[in-house]
C-alpha cells in the first residue's frame, strides 16, 4: 500500500463573518491513495467544489490540514503555492474555462509556458496530451469553433499536460449531452487505468460515479463512503 | 505568453483602438505644446546691456524707413546705429534643421554696435569690399562645412529676391555660442535688387552708458511720434525679456493643459483596463489555478496596457511631427520664429515616455487589485 497522495485531516470550512456565517464543511477526513479514482457526490450546495478547491489549494480551510503529496499546503505562502499547484494539480472545470483567444493547442501549451522547456519538448508534450484526448486534428481551432465535448477534452489535455500528481474534475460532464458525457467519462477512466492518474471526480450523476473505485458522499458538511466502497 | 498579450489586445478591437487613440491625442497635444515652448526658448539668450532695438511700433513685421538711420544717429548718448533686416530665406530646403537667421546688415557700422562680434581685420575688410560677400558665425560655418570662398544660395521667401553669396569671413562671439549660428550679408544687395525701397527691419543702437538708456528710449520714440511709422525702442534685454515673460505665463498655461489631458487620459485607459479585467476575471483565476503567480498575471495585464501606451505614444509623436511640420511651413512666412517649430528628439522621447508610464500605471493599478483577488472568487463569478 502506497502513501496517500491526498490526506485531509479534520478539515472545516466556514464562510462569512459573524452575521452571515455558513459552515460548509466540518471535521472532514479523507485519504486518497496514489492511482485511486474517487467519485464525490452530494446535493447542490453541499460543498463539493469547496472541498476540491481546498485540495487544489486555491482556497484555505478554516480548520484542519490538507496534505497533497506529503505537503501541508497551508504551510505554503502565496508565492510558493503557484509553482506547487503547477506541479501537483490538474483541474478540470464544469465550464471548461479555456482561454477564448488561444487555440486548442495554445490552451494546452499554456501551463508549459511556466516551465523551462525546449520548444521541441514542449511541442511533444502538447501533442501527446492532445493525442490522448483525440483532438490532434482540432489543435488550431479556437474554443468558439469547438463543441462542448471537444472543449472539455481540450481542458482535460490542458490538465494532464504537466503530468500533475492529482487530477481534480468538478462536474466535467455537467454541461454535456449524454453521448459527449460518456466519451469524457471514458477518457477520464482511461487516464486512471492506462496512465495511472489519481483522480477525484465530482459528479451528480450516479452512472458517472460507477466508473470510480470508490464513491464518497458529502452532505450537511459530513463525508461518508458508499457501503460497498 | 506574448501571444496571449497580443491576442487580448486584439480581443475588443474597437475598445483598444479607442484607448490607443486617446493616448495618441494626449501625446500629440503634449508634444506640440512642448515644441512650441521650445521655439521661444532661444530668443531669451544673451543680451548686451547697452544696446537698444528700435522697431516698428505696431509689429516686427513692418519695416522702417532708411531715413530714420540718419536721424537716430543724431540722438544724444547714441554712439552708433546699425540696421539689421531679417531676410528669412531658405537654405537648401524647408527642413527646420536647415533654418538659421540671416540678416541684411551694413558692413561699415555693424561692428560699431555689435562689439561682441569678433573677426579678423582681413576678413572684415574682405567682407566689406564685396557686394555679394557674407559673414558667418563659426558654429554655422562648421555645421555646413563652409570655408572662405564657398558660395551659397538663399532663396527669398519674405522678399522676392534670391541671393548668391560668397563666404568672406567667419566670426566668433565673445560669450554666446548661439550668436554664432547666423549670417550677415550686405543689405544693399537686397535693396538694389528690389529697386532701392529704402526699408530697414530694425535699428540697433549702442548707448554710451547704461544709465542713459531710459532717456534714449524716450527721445527715440518721441522723435517719430508724428512720423509715417512710429517706433518702439527697447533694450535688447527687454526685447528678449518680453519673450521670456510671455513664455513664463505660456509655460504655466501649457503645463496645466498638458497635465489635465494626461491625467484624464490616464483615467480613460485605467478604466478601460479595469473593464477588460472584470470581463476576464475568470480567466485570471484559471491562470492562477494553472500555477501562474500573481506577478505573472499582473505582468500579462501590464504588458497589455503598456503596449497600448506605447502604440498611442508612437502614434502621437508621429502625428505631432507631421502637425508641427505643416504648421511650421504654413506660418514660416508670417511669423519667422515658427520656422524652427519641430519635434526634437527630447520632446519625442518625453512623449513616448509619458505614454508608456501612463500605459503601465493604468494596467498595473487595476491589475494589482485583480491579481490579489482570491482564486475562488474569480472562479465563482461566472462558473
Ligand atoms: N465565498 C462564499 N461565501 C459564502 N458562502 C459561500 C461562498 N462560496 C461558497 N459558499 C457556499 O458554500 C456552499 C457550498 O458551495 P459549493 O460550491 O462547494 O457547493 P457544491 O457542492 O459544489 O454545489 P454544486 O453542486 O451546486 O456545484 C454553498 O452553500 C455556497 O452558497
Ligand atoms: Mg460545485
Tens digit of each residue's pLDDT (9 = 90 or more) over B363-382: 999 999 988 888 998 887 54
Ligand nearest to the CA of B380: 1
Residues 6+ away with beta carbon under 8 Å from B369 = none
Q: For residue A42, give the ligand nearest its CA.
A: 1
Domain assignments of chain B as residue spans, ordered by start: 2-43+248-382, 58-229
User: Cβ distance B83 to B105 under 8 Å?
Assistant: yes
Q: If phi over 0 gives left and psi between -120 and 50 gives alpha, with beta otherwise, what is residue A19? A: alpha
What is the residue-averaged pLDDT of chain B? 88
Taking an 8 Å cut-off on Cβ atoms, the answer to whether A59 and B376 are in contact is: yes
Q: Give yes or no for residue A49 CB within 6 A of ligand 1.
A: yes
Q: Which three cell numbers stand for residue B159?
A: 522678399
Please give the interface size between A and B, counted as residue pairs whose CB atoms are below 8 Å apart.
74
| Mutation for testing the B interface, residue in A50, A101, A106 having most B CBs under 10 Å | A101
DSSP secondary structure, B367-378, as one string: HHHHHHS-HHHH
Residue B211: predicted pLDDT: 83
Q: Is B381 on the interface with A (CB under 8 A)?
A: no
Q: CA A167, CA A199: separation in Å to the nearest integer?
A: 5
- Rounded to an integer, the average pLDDT of B19-36 is 93
Q: What's the pLDDT at B246?
A: 63
pLDDT at B250 (0 to 100): 76
- Would the CB of A195 count as within 6 Å of ligand 1? no
Q: Are A144 and A100 in contact (CB under 8 A)?
A: yes
Verify whether the Cβ–Cβ distance B290 to A78 is below 8 Å: no
Whole-number Cα distances in Å, A18 to A11, A53, A59, A64, A127: 20, 23, 20, 20, 51
Whether the pLDDT of residue A229 is over 50: the answer is no
Instruction: Tell me how close the Cα of B363 comes to any Cα of chain A, in angstroms.
Output: 19
pLDDT at A3 over 80: no
Distance (Å, rounded) from C-alpha A136 to C-alpha A195? 19
> Closest Cα partner for B318 from B31, B98, B99, B17?
B31
Give φ, ψ of A147 to 5 degrees.
Answer: -80, 165
Of the pLDDT bands very low, low, confident and very high (cuts 50, 70, 90), residue B40 is: low
> What pLDDT sits at residue B378?
86
Q: Which 3-state string (H, E, C) describes B243-278?
A: HHHHHHHHHHHHHHHHHHHHHHHHHHHHHHHHHHHH
Are B155 and B99 a contacting pair, CB within 8 Å? no
Q: What pLDDT sits at residue B176?
A: 78
C-alpha cell at A200: 477525484
For ligand 1, the distance from its centroid to the CA atom of residue B84, given in whole angstroms, is 87
Give the range among A29-43, A109-123, A154-168, B208-222 with minimum mean pLDDT.
B208-222
Task: Say what the pLDDT of residue B377 is.
Answer: 87
Instruction: Find the CB nearest A114 among B282, B286, B292.
Output: B292
Atom of ligand 1 at shortest distance to CA of A50?
18
How many Å lie between the centroid of ligand 2 and the Cα of residue A20? 20
Which residues of chain B are within 8 Å of residue A102 when distances are taken between CB atoms? 3-4, 7
Among candidates A53, A79, A95 on the partner chain, residue whose Cβ is nearest the Cβ of B376: A53
B52 contacts B205 by C-beta, under 8 angstroms: yes
Give the span between the Cα atoms of B369 and B360, in whole angstroms. Answer: 14
Ranges A18-22, A27-31, A114-118: which has the least confidence: A18-22
pLDDT band of residue A16 (cuts 50, 70, 90) is confident
Q: Is A16 in the pocket of ligand 1 (CB under 6 A)?
A: yes
Counting from 1 in the atom list of ligand 1, the atom nearest the Cα of A94 is 27
Residues B289 and A82: their CA atoms lie apart, in Å, by 8
DSSP-derived 3-state class of residue B52? strand
CA distance B18 to chain A (A): 20
SS3 A154: helix
pLDDT at A224: 87
What does the pLDDT look like over A143-186, one tens digit per residue?
Answer: 999 999 999 999 999 999 999 999 999 999 999 999 999 999 99
B9: chain A residues, CB-CB within 8 Å: none
Q: What is the ipTM of this complex?
A: 0.94
pLDDT, mean over chain A: 93
| Chain B touched by A190 (CB under 8 Å) | no
> What mean pLDDT is predicted for residues B104-125?
93
Distance A74 CA to ligand 2 centre (A): 22
A4 Cβ below 6 A of ligand 1: no
**Predicted confidence (pLDDT) at residue A197 exceeds the cutoff of 70:** yes
Contact B291 A97 (CB under 8 A): no
Q: Does residue A48 line the site of ligand 1, with CB under 6 A?
A: yes
pLDDT at B45 over 80: no
pLDDT in tens, A32-91: 999 999 999 999 999 999 999 999 999 999 999 999 999 999 899 888 999 999 999 999
How far is residue A222's CA from residue B236's CA, in Å, rounded to a whole number? 93
Which of the residue ranges B29-33, B106-110, B245-249 would you say has the lowest mean pLDDT? B245-249
In eight-state DSSP terms, residue A159 is H
Q: Cα-Cα-Cα-Cα dihedral of A52, A54, A57, A63, to 10°? A: -170
pLDDT at res. B235: 82
DSSP state string for B168-200:
EEEEEESS-GGGGS-EEEEHHHHHHHTT---EE
pLDDT of amino acid A148: 95
Q: Average of pLDDT values for B209-231? A: 89
A168 CA distance to ligand 1 centroid (A)? 17
Q: A89 has which bridge partners?
A: A166
Q: What is the pLDDT of residue B337?
A: 62
B5 touching chain A per CB within 8 A: no
Q: If residue B285 lies in a helix (H) or strand (E), which one and from where to where?
A: helix B281-289
Q: What's the gap in Å between A47 CA and the centre of ligand 1? A: 5
CA distance A225 to B105: 107
Amino acid at each position: 500500500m502506497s502513501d496517500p497522495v491526498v490526506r485531509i485531516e479534520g478539515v472545516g470550512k466556514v464562510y462569512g463573518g459573524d452575521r452571515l456565517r455558513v459552515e460548509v464543511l466540518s471535521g472532514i477526513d479523507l485519504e486518497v491513495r496514489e492511482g485511486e479514482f474517487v467519485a464525490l457526490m452530494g446535493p447542490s450546495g453541499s460543498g463539493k467544489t469547496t472541498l476540491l478547491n481546498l485540495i487544489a489549494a486555491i482556497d484555505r480551510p478554516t480548520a484542519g490540514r490538507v496534505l497533497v503529496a506529503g505537503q501541508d499546503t497551508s504551510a505554503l505562502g502565496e508565492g510558493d503555492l503557484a509553482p506547487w499547484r503547477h506541479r501537483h494539480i490538474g483541474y478540470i472545470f464544469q465550464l471548461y474555462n479555456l482561454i477564448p483567444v488561444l487555440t486548442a493547442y495554445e490552451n494546452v501549451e499554456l501551463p508549459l509556458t511556466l516551465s523551462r522547456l525546449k520548444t521541441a519538448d514542449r511541442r511533444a508534450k502538447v501533442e501527446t496530451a492532445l493525442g490522448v484526448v483525440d483532438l490532434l486534428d482540432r489543435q488550431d481551432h479556437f474554443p468558439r469553433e469547438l463543441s462542448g465535448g471537444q472543449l472539455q477534452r481540450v481542458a482535460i489535455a490542458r490538465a494532464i499536460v504537466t503530468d500533475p500528481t492529482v487530477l481534480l474534475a468538478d462536474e466535467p460532464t455537467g454541461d454535456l449531452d449524454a453521448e459527449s458525457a460518456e466519451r469524457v467519462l471514458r477518457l477520464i477512466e482511461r487516464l486512471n487505468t492506462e496512465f495511472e492518474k489519481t483522480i477525484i471526480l465530482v459528479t451528480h450523476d450516479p452512472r458517472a460515479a460507477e466508473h470510480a473505485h470508490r464513491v464518497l458522499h458529502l452532505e450537511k458538511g459530513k463525508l461518508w463512503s458508499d457501503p460497498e466502497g | 505568453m506574448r501571444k496571449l498579450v497580443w491576442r487580448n489586445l486584439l480581443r475588443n478591437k474597437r475598445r483598444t483602438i479607442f484607448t490607443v487613440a486617446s493616448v495618441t491625442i494626449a501625446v500629440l497635444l503634449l508634444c506640440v505644446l512642448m515644441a512650441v515652448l521650445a521655439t521661444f526658448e532661444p530668443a531669451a539668450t544673451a543680451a548686451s546691456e547697452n544696446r537698444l532695438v528700435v522697431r516698428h511700433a505696431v509689429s516686427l513685421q513692418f519695416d522702417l524707413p532708411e531715413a530714420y538711420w540718419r536721424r537716430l544717429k543724431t540722438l544724444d548718448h547714441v554712439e552708433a546705429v546699425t540696421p539689421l533686416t531679417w531676410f528669412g530665406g531658405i537654405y537648401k530646403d524647408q527642413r527646420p534643421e536647415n533654418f538659421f537667421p540671416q540678416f541684411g546688415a551694413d558692413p561699415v557700422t555693424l561692428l560699431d554696435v555689435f562689439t561682441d562680434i569678433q573677426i579678423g581685420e582681413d576678413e572684415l575688410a574682405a567682407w566689406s569690399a564685396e557686394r555679394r560677400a557674407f559673414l558667418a558665425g563659426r558654429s554655422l560655418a562648421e555645421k555646413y562645412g563652409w570655408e572662405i570662398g564657398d558660395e551659397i544660395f538663399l532663396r527669398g521667401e519674405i522678399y522676392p529676391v534670391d541671393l548668391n553669396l560668397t563666404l568672406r569671413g567667419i566670426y566668433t562671439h565673445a560669450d554666446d555660442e548661439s550668436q554664432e549660428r547666423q549670417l550677415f550679408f550686405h543689405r544693399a544687395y537686397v535693396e538694389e535688387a528690389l529697386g532701392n525701397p529704402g526699408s530697414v527691419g530694425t535699428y540697433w543702437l549702442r548707448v554710451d552708458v547704461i544709465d542713459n538708456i531710459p532717456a534714449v528710449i524716450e527721445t527715440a520714440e518721441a522723435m517719430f511720434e508724428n512720423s509715417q511709422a512710429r517706433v518702439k525702442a527697447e533694450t535688447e534685454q527687454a526685447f528678449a525679456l518680453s519673450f521670456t515673460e510671455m513664455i513664463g505665463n505660456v509655460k504655466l498655461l501649457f503645463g496645466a493643459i498638458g497635465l489635465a489631458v494626461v491625467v484624464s487620459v490616464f483615467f480613460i485607459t485605467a478604466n478601460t483596463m479595469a473593464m477588460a479585467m472584470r470581463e476576464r476575471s475568470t480567466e485570471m483565476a484559471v491562470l492562477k489555478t494553472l500555477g501562474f503567480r500573481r506577478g505573472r498575471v499582473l505582468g500579462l495585464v501590464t504588458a497589455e496596457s503598456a503596449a497600448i501606451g506605447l502604440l498611442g505614444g508612437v502614434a502621437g509623436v508621429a502625428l505631432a511631427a507631421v502637425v508641427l511640420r505643416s504648421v511650421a511651413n504654413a506660418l514660416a512666412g508670417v511669423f519667422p520664429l515658427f520656422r524652427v517649430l519641430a519635434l526634437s528628439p527630447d520632446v519625442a522621447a518625453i512623449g513616448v515616455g509619458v505614454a508608456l508610464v501612463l500605459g503601465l500605471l493604468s494596467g498595473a493599478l487595476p491589475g494589482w487589485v485583480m491579481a490579489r483577488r482570491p482564486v475562488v472568487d474569480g472562479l465563482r463569478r461566472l462558473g
